[in-house]
Every structure is written in structure tokens, then in C-alpha cells.
Amino acid sequence: RSQPLVEAPPADWPMLYLNGAILRSPKDRRAVGPMLLEKSLLRTGRNELQVVSSESRLFLVIQAGKKRSAEQALSEIKSRAPISRASSRKLQEDLRRVSESDDLEITSKDSISLRCPLSFARMTLPGRGENVCQHLQCFDLEAFLSFAERSSRWECPVCNNRISFADLRVDALTSEALERTSRATSKPKAQGGEAGEAGDFSDDDADDLPDSFVL
């Protein structure tokens, strides 16, 4: 069309139309990720997508893809090589050196939470973005995929960096921490009384599990 359907709003957020219906408006500030055009929004034959913006330069990318189920996505992630323990340990040392050079406390770098920052529940499949997330703290991959599907936001809940599906990996070190603390039949008696520590478990009968793990 040579003329827009409506005048572009005074904002840097584009107005999107599909076949004349509004897909996204400048008020949708939280919808910052890619949009999924469901088949129900399309019609047989020609479809028209219109972008109205006050920006002089604007890029629009349309990509055809196949939607995976949550089970298929998790299965594919599990089939990839995980982030190794050696890689996590190297990152731990790198974080320590940075903290020491900046005269910062390093204790937070030596303890990881076993609860997902998205669901706040104990993680079952911990992961993070390979070569994207420069931190040891993980999030639950199933919770992350569920959140991304609902919100279209592919951002790490720890560092806020953008993460693509191809970046997602299981973290071997945190997986081991979850397994070790799950095998414990009582809350570990670690320094501080809160976090578990490798080899520091008793065989007493109890059901509670620690929320964090000392690396």
C-alpha cells in the first residue's frame, strides 16, 4: 500500500497489522520478542502484513518454521552435549579472578541456588545459555521454555542476555549438585547451615532438601 492504514504513533515501537487486524501496538511494551503467527491468524491465499512506524529505518524478518512441542524441545536439548563440569569450573575460576581484581566478595560466586529463578521451585533439568551466560547460576529448562512460549521473551532470567533455542544446554555441574542433594536423606550440615556441600551428608531420616549448593 502506498498509504498506511493509520498514522504512525509518535513512538519508536511499530504498529503491526495482519490482514487488517492489529497484531501489536506501541502500547505492547512487554512484547519484545519474536511473534508467532499461528495458522488461525492466516487465511488461504494471500496474506498482508503491514508495519507502521515513525522510524526511517526499519527491518522486518519473517521466518517459516515448525513449532515443537515442549517434549520435543526438551528431548532435543537433552541430546546436545551438556556444559561440562570442567567448563563450569573454569568459569568459576574466571569469576573469582574478576572479583579479586575488583576487591569484591567472592562467596556468592561459590554458591548456587538449586531453585529456578522463574518458577522458584527446585530445578529438575538445570541449564543456561552456552557461550551466552557468563554465570554459574542455572534456570530450569522446562520452566524457561514454558515462559518463552507464553511471553515470546527469550532472555536469561539471571543475566537478561538474549538466548536462542540453539544456545540452551544442560549444565552438568548443577545436575550433579541436584542429584547429590536428592540422594541425601537429611539436610546437609554445611558451613552456615543453609547450603549443601559435596560429601557433607548424613544418613538420618528426613525429607527436606537444601535450596543451595556450595561449589
∠ Cα 44 42 10 (to 5°):
135
208 pLDDT higher than 50: yes
What pLDDT is recorded for position 166?
A: 93
Least confident of 8-12, 101-105, 122-126, 131-135: 8-12
CB 118 within 8 A of CB 162: no
Q: Helix, strand or coil for residue 177?
A: helix
DSSP E strands: which ranges in 35-175? 49-52, 111-113, 126-129, 139-140, 168-170
For the cut 90, the answer to whether the pLDDT of residue 176 exceeds it is yes
pLDDT of residue 65: 76
Provide the pLDDT for residue 59.
78
In angstroms, the CA 173 to CA 33 distance is 30
Most confident of 19-23, 110-114, 131-135, 183-187: 131-135
Give the pLDDT of residue 28.
61
Q: Looking at the predicted structure, is the pLDDT value of residue 210 above 80?
A: no
Least confident of 19-28, 59-68, 78-87: 19-28
Q: What are the pLDDT digits (tens) for 76-121?
A: 999 999 999 999 999 999 988 887 766 544 444 468 899 999 999 9
**CA separation for the pair 52, 9 (Å, rounded):** 8
| Model confidence band, residue 10 (pLDDT cutoffs 50, 70, 90) | very low
- Report CA dihedral (46, 52, 56, 57) to the nearest 10 degrees: -50
Integer CA distances (angstroms), 160 to 81, 117, 118, in order: 23, 12, 12
Average pLDDT (173-202) is 59
| Cell numbers linked to 134 | 557468563
Q: Are strands 196-197 and 212-214 parallel, antiparallel or unpaired?
A: parallel
* Residue 20 confidence (pLDDT): 87
How far apart are the C-alpha atoms of 201 and 98, rounded to whole Å? Answer: 32
Residue appearing with cell numbers 492489529: 22
Q: Looking at residues 185-196, what average pLDDT do you find?
A: 42
Looking at residues 184-201, what average pLDDT do you find? Answer: 41
Better-scored residue on pLDDT, 19 or 57: 19
Pairing verdict, β 15-18 and 49-52: antiparallel
